[in-house]
Structure 1
Amino acid sequence: MSRKRARSPSNAPSPATASSSHIYRSAPISDRQSIFVAHFSPTLSAAALQAHPDFRTATHRIAAWRKPTAQRSLLGPSARVLQSGHDDDGETFAGRRLARVLEAMGVQGAVCVARWYGGVMLGPVRFEHIEGCAREAVRAWRAATTTTTTTTTTTAAAAEADGGGAKKAKVGEEVDGRSKAELEKVLVERDGSIEVLRGLLAEKKRVVGAVEGAAAGEVKPMTPKTPTNYKAMPVQALVKLEKARDATIAFILKELDKIEDEIVKAMDDGDTLGEDSVLSTGNLTEEKRRDKEGSMIVADAPLDSLAVSKATPSADRLNDQHECS
């Protein structure tokens, strides 16, 4: 069956569903005979996802992971140290983009996007397909987790109908397997990341202006943002805010990619101009040195006057010749 998936979009892996191995799949994306499908798992390794039978005939198996480690954090026992990594598998820069998706969505686990190359080069749009598949697979996991949480809440409400309202409220505060306190902490971290990324973007824009020779000016200091009181918000509002923060981070990351390309291009152009400037400056300096050694001050004299002075003998020299004759 996997061979057929490599040939026809209609036979590509099925839409997002959770398997017995805790794998969550995206719907296939087909573009000019290329097919993209993503698998996400909060428990399996990236290597296990790459070795999945569905991906056996894939041309590329791009993977990224974000897993907790045994290393202790200085922020306290509740703070986990995460280890991130990626594997391009021949699709240059694609692994790094997958890692950014996991970081922006704030999830822990591994994701693998398989691509079946159809013979037509897609250009930069292939990265959009890769990122889109990964996001859909993560959303499939979140949707399945939310459904499980809702079922647990309903069961608890029925079992504790004779006075278990407190337990119902406690279970109902969890969304996507996370408590309200965890969502509040995640949003605070997102706000910090957005502030840092915006500062980095402003700095890179200043560098582009300086390299291109434009009037860059000074970078305006960022106004400190008043912390948002997330404790006063309901859980559903926190979930919506998390999605909005993820979208903001994804947008800034794309802007950073664009500005980095502009910096590389501007530096390449600037290097050529710089060499010409150095050569011309060196020639002028050499001319001044030779003129100084010959006791002729050339630096401030017009070129026309210099030509006349060299071609026409001075009046004193003519008088000396006349007296001798």
Structure 2
Amino acid sequence: MAEQPPSSRLSLAQAVVSANSRSKAVSIGIEKPPTAAQQVSVSEGQPKVRVLGRMLPVLKRSGYSWKGATSDAGASSTASQPSASKPAPAESTWKASQKLLSKGSTFIAHATPLSSPSARPELFKALMAQKPELETATHNAWAVRTSFGNSPLVQDASFDDGESGCGNFLLQIMREANITNTMIVLTRWYGGVMLGPDRWRLMREATNEALSAQRRITTFSREPVWALDVTDTSPVTSTIGMAIHRPEGARNYLLQSFHTPEPDDGGASAGKKTTAMMKAEKEENLGRLLGALRLLFASWAKVLSADDLDKRAWSWYVSVRPEVDSGPSGWGAKGPLQLDKILDLRRR
């Protein structure tokens, strides 16, 4: 994540470590799986970035500008170019709302951009292929609005699929928001109970959320982000409006984690170290570790795409991490970290 400022990198790193720790704690029986009430609900359309194979929900840092070093920018641009040049598959363009439930009925909406009315059948087919459970729904109503260049004319089309009035209602929502070149699909599993006027509220809520997600920026090649903390259910008092992984905790943890191991050859002790000496020693060790990692990633940055580099990062981590006991006995344990193992992974 060389394109991100240090504070954003620490936020993302904390999110990965926290997620991995929770998964590990559950797998070895130290903790119980979290319930739905213990996690913050994040919309399926929330922007995400991939770090060490995990998709992390993120939030753009509004009003923050960052310009990294020229060498970092060049390496990042080169590494990410192969991925950027590949067209995204049709199914990856769909953005979804959260599922809304009422009296046994379930509503969910999906939205995607489209360039022409003729693209509608293929986009709809791609959505059904990506999420085959939608084909089990009672209704899959849709609506499209397309415009052509600078022409003020807009072409509308819709289909109720048995959900009376739904197609025109979707078009109305898009007209109110002045949205064109977009397709929206509203899916409902009927629960056997008539909802009355509340049906329109649920359809509007799901549709607006999907349209908002579709228009939201979902790639952050140069935009600083915060990693969202989906486990923090306490009331949020900041202006951000959502709980995030703060970088300060990750930074302080790193600064305190890498001390120099005591010699095991039985030699005489060099004397008791002062607090200032131990602090300086840990900072120096952390600098060496980060330097080794920078050399490793720089050696591969011009060869691998950003996605391939991320895929390899996890296997690299597994091969160099300290060896500790498996199971609960090794939880929180520390061990020696060999920097030469990291350097040996560099491209020759």
Q: After TM superposition, is the score higher than 0.5? A: no
TM value normalised by structure 2 = 0.34
Flag the structure with larger Rg.
1
Does 1 or 2 have the higher relative contact order (CA < 8 Å, sep 6+)? 2
Q: 1 or 2, which has the higher helix percentage? A: 1
TM value normalised by structure 1 = 0.37
